[in-house]
Amino acid sequence: EVQLVESGGGLVQPGGSLRLSCAASGFTFSSHWMHWVRQAPGKGLVWVSRITSDGSSTIYADSVKGRFTISRDNAKNTLHLQMNSLRAEDTALYYCARVGSGSSNDLWGRGTLVTVSS
Amino acid sequence: DIVMTQSPDSLAVSLGERATINCKSSQSVLSGSNNKNSLAWYQQKPGQSPKLLIYWSSTRESGVPDRFSGSGSGTDFTLTITSLQAEDVAVYYCQQYHSAPITFGQGTRLEIK
């Protein structure tokens, strides 16, 4: 089955760190660019970061630049998001999403919830 | 950054009627390299992940019912749902992927009247 499954979310104190993972299966992971997109409770979709298929190029939203790092392990079909210096405003459901042939996000995971609170 | 603005914020339509959602970008998302508009539409049902409906502004994703259609070019785009079904209740988002940062509209909530 073609799917993305996120993990690693949880409750963390402000200033803390978390590492999210996204396990891909059912398709050739190494052929696809990947994104992280987040959604605060009751709010809209916000793009976070993108990585190319070979991991050589990454870009970030200004709100997370310098704090978050996207990476991938194509041998393990896994995408990661290392999140440091977390803030209350980072609280959200974090989705990983595949970039398809139409350059848009054609496959999404179910998301993993990150809550930043003391 | 390209700002995406959807209208209306919410919409109530009777079953079997047409629903129209608009999306306006603050600058053109027409790609000079392929002459395509880098504009997608997503559907997010309650408690679910977003689902791709339309990409390149008017190309329907595989498996999406043909009552969903996208149109527009440059800065003005429309998602049309003909003959609304109960299962179409959702929040709909437009997204531009023309330039980084990728940006989404604020969403339009579609309900049954």
Residue B29: pLDDT over 90: yes
A105:B104 CB<8 A: no
Residue B32: pLDDT over 90: no
DSSP string, B67-110: TEEEEEETTEEEEEESS--GGG-EEEEEEE-SSSSPEE---EEE
B50:A110 CB<8 A: no
pLDDT of residue B30: 95
Torsion region of B50: left, alpha or beta (phi above 0 gives left; psi -120 to 50 gives alpha):
beta
Q: pLDDT digit of tens for each residue in chain A (118 aa)?
A: 999 999 999 999 999 999 999 999 999 999 999 999 999 999 999 999 999 999 999 999 999 999 999 999 999 999 999 999 999 999 999 999 999 988 999 999 999 999 999 9
Residue owning tokens 């785009």: B77
The chain A residues in contact with chain B (CB within 8 A) are 35, 37, 44-47, 50, 59, 61-62, 95, 97, 100, 102-106, 108-111
A 10 A CB-CB count for B33 gives 5
pLDDT of residue A83: 98
DSSP assigned state of B37: B
pLDDT band at B113 (very low <50, low <70, confident <90, very high): very high
**Do A59 and A31 contact (CB within 8 A), yes or no?**
no
Per-residue pLDDT tens for B44-99? Answer: 999 999 999 999 999 999 999 999 999 999 999 999 999 999 999 999 999 999 99
pLDDT of residue A102: 87
**Do B104 and B93 contact (CB within 8 A), yes or no?**
yes
Among B49, B95, B103, B109, the residue to mutate for chain A (most A Cβ within 10 A): B49
Phi–psi pair at A72, nearest 5 degrees = -150, 155
